[in-house]
Structure 1
Amino acid sequence: MAQFRTLLISGASRGIGRAIAERALAEGHRLSLGVRDPAGLPPGPLLEAVRRCPEQVLLHPYDACDPSRASSWVAATVAQFGGIDGLIHCAGVFSRVGLLFEAGQDAEIEALWRVNLMGPWWLSRAAWPALVASGDGRVITLVSMSGQRVKGPLAAYACSKFALMALCQSMRNEGWDAGLRVTAICPGWVNTSMASQVTALPASAMTQPEDLAALTAQLLRLPASAVPFELKINCVLER
């Protein structure tokens, strides 16, 4: 029997987050979408649902850099839907800052950590009571293969993703006895704007956002006894 969840999804306006939200909408879940600019949500199924089905989709302003936005978004979601039983972290930013960063790049590193680590941390903390109260909560975090190994000189981004993996493990430990299950999805190159500058691999050979949306849909269907903690997905062979 299908279980329809109330899902908080960050980063739902584009890329992987948008694909996951569109798939979740098609499968009948209730969605609370946190986006930086609600007025800028692109045309498509999500915008149509916001306009026609407010009982199923809530659109709320959310800035991962601002912890107060996390609290207000969670409160608005609980007020509209009565609870939350799924949280999907898709908001994130990329950086090319390396180990030997230049003077003045400290600010970029700090902003990266604020979005990639503290954003999910603040949002998870705000949603935690509702997730625990559900008795069968789910947290799914789009991490990256950069949270598994470091390739090349991109130190700042990889460090933020390794830290995000640690946060996922901490959430798994904290929520286990309450029936809350956490999964870290770690893809390599995905055909999104973040990978638009990649020339060594055609976009068609990359993992597609819709593939990650299909995996997420399956995770939401699995019972607590069968939810994996990590999914490593790569479109290239790494030795």
Structure 2
Amino acid sequence: MVAALSPPRILPSGDAAITVEFARTIDAAANRRVLALDRLVAGEALPGVTETVPTYRSLLVHYDPLQTGFDALGDQLTELALRPLPEATATRRWRIPVAYGGENGIDLEDVAKALDITPDEVVKRHVGGDYKVAMIGFTPGWSYLSGLPASMEMSRRQNPRLLTPAGTISIGGIQTGVQCLAGPSGWHLLGRTAVRTYQLGRDPIFLLEPGDAITFAAVDDKTFAEQDRAAEAGEVVAELIS
């Protein structure tokens, strides 16, 4: 017998959005419910809904208050959220190339020391992980991935950097991530990828979507430079393997 799902919290977010919250912490089961509800909302075409934004543990639903209201939409979202979860569906799986260490991954040595392993072992464990895009946010294309091996979990940096390179692959807490644009970060920088998860003028502009599966592959600096030039010209570079 399938256990009944617990109802989510329905929270106002300003006067034109609702947060449907499934958990208070990062949780894989909650993220599955978030992504399932996101797909249901898209399929139901609820009146007044203008945009949805999935996160690790909640779904933000923007709506037009001239077409629907908080109470009515909240009831509809609750009903959808309590429907049985669908069977696991096929997901896209991407292989993303990464140049680890050196100037591309300036924290690799420090991470190895903190974990009491070699830099090569850090790379081996990171490449060996099986990841899922849990959410996209912070800056365009910034992809937060669940699935970091427990042996690599570590606190974020005490002093965040004001600027880190575009394409940085980093770890922080129980997460790893793909940073598309240059920007601030308190995570530990392991390497860089030439893959642009966000690129204006390319179709698609956003490469990854919540729910996509990700694996990493180590490449040398020469290959990274070649791929970076190709990506700048609009090539996807990442390999869609299923």
Q: What TM-score do you get using the length of structure 2 for normalisation? A: 0.27
Structure with bigger gyration radius: 2
More strand by share: 2
More helix by share: 1
Q: What TM-score do you get using the length of structure 1 for normalisation? A: 0.28
